[in-house]
Structure 1
Amino acid sequence: MANPESYRPAPGTIPTEPGVYKFRDSSGRVVYVGKAKNLRARLNNYFQPPAQLHPRTRQMVSTAASVEWTVVASEVEALQLEYTWIKRFDPWFNVMYRDDKTYPMLAVSVGERFPRAFFYRGPRRKGVRYFGPYSHAWAVRETLDLLTRVFPIRTCSNGVYNRHQSLGRPCLLGYIDKCSAPCVGRVDEAEYDEIVRGFMAFLSGRTDTVVKELTRRMNDAAAALEFEKAARLRDDLEAVNKVMERQTVVLGGDTDADLIAFDTDELEAAVQIFIVRGGRIRAQRGWVVEKTGDEPGSRERLEEGQADPALPSLVRDFLVQYYSDAVERVNEEKAEDARLAASKVRRRGVDQESVAAPAPPVPVPHEILVCDEPAEAPEVAELLCELRGAAVDVRVPQRGDKAALMQTVKRNASEALHQHKLKRVGDLTARSQALKDIQDALGMDEAPLRMECTDISHIQGTDVVASLVVFEDGLPKKSDYRRYRIKEAAGEGRSDDVGSIAEVTRRRFKRYNDDKLANPDEEAGAMMFAEEAAEVEATSTRRFAYPPQLFIVDGGKPQVNAAQAVFDELGIVDVRLIGLAKRLEEVWVPEDDEPVILPRNSDGLYLLQQIRDEAHRFAITYHRQQRSKRMRASALDGVPGLGPARRSDLVKHFGSVKKVKEASVEQIQEVKGVGPKLAEVIFAHLHKDDPLPGPGGMN
């Protein structure tokens, strides 16, 4: 690992103009590419003391051995050059939104003499046109099955094609008219090209032309009394309409837009894009990528409902990379189509226009709707306009159908990130590796098979609560979850997160000590752990199986020190204590002045993060319940002898609790079911805090 100070540029040598910079390792390989409005200000940030850098940035500057830069004339040029260099050098530390390798797609082998359509997963190849991606494999196969009724393109492999060509008879699909059977010469090359062009035109979104043409041909056949042909065309039209029905209509019929939304945590970002053409959702794509740590605001803590300060730069980078890649891919497809068309012209001696494939769809739509305005929005919009060759509207939808659809895209991004996390911790091998990573990082004798984590939740010192979640063998054990109302360290608008952590730790392990002393002959697996009903809101009254090997507090060194003081006070020596600081995902241990940094791709770090997030979720849920309960509280709740039904009758009779308080005893007595004695109790309860009458007598 290199010392960043060894290659830091001399003071004053870095220009202050906009530009793009590259970090190279000792072998000369580019490990990171970035851009800046002011190169000097940006690059100086990388040469701060290592402890102040984001873990991934710290790793990058330690891996690099040199830095170089190129000055450009404008910020738009900087965006373009940054994309070009990222594409060229493929740096390890840059976020790369690569093509999905998991989504199923429809592919057409346009490079073959008689192209075939087939289901495909994997990287893109030359000579093949791709459509999709689709959300499910069955959707690809069903779409292909329906479209071959209208466009009888071959779907067989080259081996099957060659075999039937040598046999001189078509396969089953040829006999049932779901393939035009070019293998036996049923159609010539020009006729087959027309079928392929219609198939690709339909998949490219030009569905209206196909529907109008089929309708016209059906009506002409019926007018000519060719009823069998008309019936066949009617069935083809139904097949086309069935395919179109699978594309949900969400916006106006002439709307072409892409909707892009992100969901992020401290380590990763999930992005989803819905591609809407002609008002219909034509495709959906998604990625989960690791954040670089170089985004503005990456060091800041993300709270519940708080926007990620790194989000604008993530949106900017995605827009530049995704649409630049799309335009580059379309240009390659156009060049390949032109080459293939020229080859067919030479082979068949026909007009080039008659063999040209339909042009690929425009990759940059007129509207790009995003969840958050990108950083450097004017420059990004200018670059997208250059890529499209026309105006592009980049904006955040505020109301109406587009805003509603954006919420759906956001939910998909959140679910994608959640499923990505579950996949990592749900796999047995990954869980075992995660526990081993934690054991090695903390120097524990055994893997922490049982871990507990606590977190505090409140709003400005009101309804202060805490959660305690339990993971066993890397999985949540919800039957052992506990919830606490903080009494000593907070209340009446006063909050102390450090004191609250100490209180929860003391209450949890004081009971553990008491049970251990009361049951000295029992194993830890049989020890009772419960709190009085007034102190703990528990999800169940089950016993804890055994004390944790690892106790986690949400926070940094102050929280860990507070919990360790409780451990010392209670004599807890058989439980390892750590704190997980959300700001930089640092693991703090009581005896060290420096945190333990787990690799960002470590399964152990993902497991710790999931435990902490689960504790946060559980605490937030309980806090909302308490807040909602308090807000629903009524001045009538504590009246002796007044049940829910009579409370409801009182409010209905007077219209509000305020009007009940203004009523006299006689007026309260008029309510059905309220007698003179109860009316006096209600009146006294509602006026118990009123000031006493003055010396002049009763008010």
Structure 2
Amino acid sequence: SVRRHYQKLMEEAAERLEFERAAELRNRLWALAHVTADQAINPEGVEEADVFAAAQEAGQTCIQVFFIRSGQNWGNRAYFPKADRSLSTAEVLESFIAQFYDDKPVPRLLLLSEPLPSQDLLEEALSSKSERRVEIRVPQRGSKLGVVEHALRNAREALARQLAESSSQRILLEGVAERFGLPRPPRRIEVFDNSHIMGTNAVGAMIVAGPEGFVKSQYRKFNIKSTELTPGDDYAMMREVLTRRFRRLVEKKNGGKNGTKTEPETKVERQVATEEIEATEELSSRITPPEPPPLDERGSSGIPFGVLRAEAVSEPGIEDDETDLPDDDYSPALFDEATEDGERRQEQEEEEFPDRPDLVLIDGGAGQLAVACQVLSELGITGIPVVGVAKGPDRDAGREHFYIPGRDKPFMLEPRDPVLYFIQRLRDEAHRFAIGTHRAKRAKAISANPLDEIPGIGPARKRALLQHFGSAKAVSRAGVADLKEVPGISEQMAQTIYDFFHERRH
């Protein structure tokens, strides 16, 4: 075989004292071993299948999924579903699989690392959904068992990394509480930043972090709406962003029954680019929360889907002018299970991610901090610590000054303090999100055509005008007589176009 051939060549090179050649052949043997090991995830005789392997430790579950299509492995992904700690690995896996295919086609074969409590019912439900037979197996031997074991090793390794990262995150949050005098480690940190160029295309951004890192489903962006703002007034922009964010928090707390009516706000089109997200972040370990079809439309799959206990679904996030990023978390309520003593429900509520921040970080110094404190005071919000984070001299990272209400002077953290690096990561993420949002808005404004704003100009007339004059700028310079020469442009329409550009110019 090829392996034995390389082994013989390596031994012969070593006997001739050609150690460099022997080392090269040894590396080839290692590479060959790696390739042949990876071929185990392309099992013979399996054209289409999804492989699920679940590992559980310290109350957390990792589910590794391999996607096999046309006899080849098309990739894998690790998921960390939020589940009741009392559920077994098999129960979590069963609920996960049922939800996993709500918005995905079901392959003909599912290979699992362990049997499910209601495996026959789930198999019937998935077969009914796909309108063909779907088989669920737990391999006991052969190449199928090899690929499941491979997925299970991946799940255990991913879970170990997740637990290590969570532990480090908890230590950092404890350090944040100590440095800023918080009563306990913050579970929700909100960071605010603005982005604009000379006041144009101004946007505000809010990023959120917690015990498990950045919570991208909670990110929000705010298009600055006020027409009374002086271009480039960062204080006024921050006031608008914070007012809209925390006014919604007050309204949600009061359940909309406070008797006051805020000014109407228009939702903008959700336009976060998925490609930009994938290019700037590591692959997320969660999937979009499922939206199961109504019970009366599920047919025979209604019984297995009932296993999910999905009667309660978490409330949607803040809907303002800001845009939601894709939600990347299962709602803990999907795995809720009622108990008589209520202890399990109480434990779950403690684990749910809060809406109210335990710490607010403002990108800026004493001025931005004063604006934030004034906004919270006007809205009657108390008990939320606010910290201003200002870059040091020459905007040098590592020399940040921290401003806290009640302190006359800012303070600094030790240059090598891990908490300082943590705060820098939060601030940099807020910068990234704000700048990305600003660039998207600016690109949209640049690509906008003024002809689209003229009443009566549809695609056909717009195309005719551009073909005749070459550009919208040339159209704006044309006289009424020139505009009338364009096919489909009447004298009245020509006057409308002329008036639009000249009234705008004046």
TM-score where L is the length of structure 2: 0.49
Give me the TM-score of the superposition, normalised by structure 1: 0.36
Which structure has the greater CA radius of gyration? 1
